[in-house]
Amino acid sequence: MIKINNYINGEFQPAKHFLEDLNPATGEVIAKIPKSGLNEVEKAVNAADEARTLWSNIGLEERADWLHKIADALEARSDEIASLESLDTGKPIALARAVDASRSVANFRFFAQFAKEFTVEDFEMDDAMNHVILKPVGIAGLITPWNLPLYLLSWKIAPAIVMGNTVVAKPSELTPLTANLLSEVIDEIGLPAGVVNIVHGFGSEAGQFIVENSKVNLISFTGGTTTGKMVAATAAPMFKKLSLELGGKNATIVLEDTDLDKSIPEIVRSGFMNQGQVCLCGSRILVSDKIWEEFVDKFVNHVKSMKVGDPSSSNSDLGALISSSHRDKVESYIHLAQREGGEILCGGKSPNLSPPFDRGFFLEPTVISGLSHMSRTATEEIFGPVVTIHPFKSDKEAIEMANCTDYGLAGSVWTGDAKRGKELAEQIETGMVWVNTWLHRDLRVPFGGIKNSGVGREGGRWSLSFFSEAVNICVKNKQ
């Protein structure tokens, strides 16, 4: 049993009350974590406040060096990060190694380098010069979900601190283990006390107290759209800087000229990576009617061949869902799909696994056809291993179907003609579109959604701008 404490002002501090953290693959309790309340959040905010002046004054070069030190220390513990992330989230270990462990290190390295190269324009006038400088915003409140725990936490902490802010972060209480490892790393390397404070607990308590705190100047939130609305309702009237990275219901458009043998493995990956619990997952697959039968046959066969089971085994393609209640929610959508006239082509139930995994929150990868593209199953975010497939007759119809949800996060187009793919991509109403690839990330590009998928952008200069205040100083040439 792991016992986790909050990390506040450079010290590990216990809370009065604790919560249990479960292994989703077995249902066993693996850790006890603080159930932080107002007192713990206030301590963390005060620590962040005290550290502000020192941290903003040390300069960007030195702060970037600290990011490199964090990256080095995380890299030395990469295997441990992957094991903890797999244990805590139920995701396959191979995925935790390839994505979570490596991206967490890469996030710190990237922002350390990129911030040093990032320059802000000066604007010359006939009689004056405008100098734009970037100042820290102050205290950044960072709130992150359970699907990519350290990956998303480091994606916020790195740009926040490199730009001179101090941080109070609340990871999801369902996946606290790697945030705790990050606290250990920060402690080990001796980052000045109070620069990064990590408070564990429920979102409705610790998370809400962070958002409500008047000393917290900025909120960067990644999570569901409903929670995002609550966060915005609290933060907006307080005029906090706010970034919301929310849910998605992303379309995958498969044109008739696609090389199916090459693209199907990637389309399957985009539908089911991390048990479909990635905001970018392509959960609505729109297929040209000219290749419908061939696509469905090949796609379903591929999905059926995937192994669900022990996340620590390198043979598992899919692990467990995050919790029993989340699996219930995903299953309720499978039942809804049946009521809406859908046909389950594969999956649709929990697999028969041997102990201890028979007590885990597993679900077979599920493919559903026969639904209207306007049905609830095809338009609401399920966030599980469930995809719906729909035929279309023309490119125009494909775009109409792709744009018919309230979400606007991401999408992908699959075609033998990259130019046609790009033209279609331009008509999709989302913040990101991939052509003949998926989740192919360059950390310099903007990341974020439109419509109900969020407000603002992260990544590269967009993160650095968000985590800073641009101040213009206009100097007249002569008095």
Contacting residues toward ligand NAP, per CB under 6 A: 143-147, 170, 172-174, 202-204, 207-208, 211, 222-224, 227, 230-231, 245-248, 279, 381, 383, 409, 449, 454
The residue from 40, 85, 245, 381 that is catalytic is 245
Nearest distance in Å: CB 144, ligand NAP: 6
Contacts of residue 455, defined as CB under 8 A and 6 or more positions apart, other chains included, come to 232, 242, 243, 244, 448
The C-alpha atoms of residue 243 and residue 389 are separated, in whole angstroms, by 32
Nearest distance in Å: CB 458, ligand NAP: 8
27 dihedral zone (left: phi>0; alpha: psi -120 to 50; beta): left
- Concatenating the DSSP letter of every residue in 83-106 gives HHHHHHH---HHHIIIIIIHHHHH
For ligand NAP, give the closer residue by CB, 69 or 284.
284
For ligand NAP, give the closer residue by CB, 227 or 263.
227
**Angle between the 102-117 and 149-162 helix axes, to the nearest 10 degrees?**
20
Nearest distance in Å: CB 225, ligand NAP: 6
Helix-then-strand count for the chain, H and E: 16, 23
Q: Which residue is nearest to ligand NAP (CB)?
A: 203
Nearest distance in Å: CB 248, ligand NAP: 5
Nearest distance in Å: CB 242, ligand NAP: 12
Radius of gyration of the chain (CA): 23
Contacts of residue 229, defined as CB under 8 A and 6 or more positions apart, other chains included, come to none
- 32: which 2 tokens? 């006890």
The residue from 205, 266, 279, 281 that is catalytic is 279
For ligand NAP, give the closer residue by CB, 166 or 277.
277
For ligand NAP, give the closer residue by CB, 207 or 348.
207
| Phi, psi for 30 (deg, rounded to 5) | -115, -20
Residue type, position 21, single letter:
D
Catalytic residue list contains 346? no
For ligand NAP, give the closer residue by CB, 26 or 453.
453
For ligand NAP, give the closer residue by CB, 15 or 73.
15
Nearest distance in Å: CB 274, ligand NAP: 10
- 78: which 2 tokens? 């990469």
Q: How far is CA 82 from CA 99, 141, 154, 174, 275, in A?
A: 9, 26, 15, 16, 17
Catalytic residue list contains 404? no
The C-alpha atoms of residue 174 and residue 121 are separated, in whole angstroms, by 43
Positions marked catalytic:
245, 279
